[in-house]
């Protein structure tokens, strides 16, 4: 089955929330690991540093995508208006085409 999926860029708010979650997990890991084996706390500190770096970069990227989308939505392409066609007049009795200055319909003979 072929499905079209459109990848929408992540919102800046979601990027920050996920980053906060990752940093909190890193702090939890560091505290817990430090109690069990102090050398494991190093991995927690590295995890926190990576989470902060990724969160900041993700926020910047999401913010840029959001600004690009806003600019694209605001862009309206200018198109030339279509030239006006000359008005077409029709006989009110037989609906035949007539000229503007005609006093009498050429098809039905009615006075205009």
Q: Which of 43-47, 67-71, 95-99, 106-110 has the lowest mean pLDDT?
A: 67-71
User: Average pLDDT of 13-17?
Assistant: 80
Q: Which two tokens stand for residue 72?
A: 């694209």
pLDDT at 105 over 50: yes
* Cα distance between residue 75 and residue 58, in whole Å: 26
Backbone angles phi, psi at 28, to 5 degrees: -60, -45
Higher confidence at residue 12 or residue 19?
19
Q: How confident is the model at residue 66 (pLDDT cuts 50, 70, 90)?
A: confident
Tell me if 88 sits within 8 A of 97, measured CB to CB.
yes
The structure's pTM equals: 0.48
Higher confidence at residue 1 or residue 104?
104
């Amino acid at each position: 089955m072929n499905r079209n999926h459109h990848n929408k860029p992540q919102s800046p708010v979601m990027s920050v929330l996920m980053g906060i979650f990752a940093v909190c997990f890193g702090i939890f890991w560091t505290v817990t690991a430090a109690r069990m084996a102090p050398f494991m706390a190093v991995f927690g500190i590295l995890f926190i540093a990576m989470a902060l770096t990724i969160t900041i970069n993700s926020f910047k990227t999401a913010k840029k995508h959001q600004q690009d989308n806003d600019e694209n939505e605001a862009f309206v392409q200018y198109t030339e208006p279509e030239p006006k066609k000359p008005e077409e007049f029709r006989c009110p009795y037989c609906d035949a085409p007539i000229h503007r200055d005609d006093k009498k319909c050429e098809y039905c003979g009615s006075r205009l």
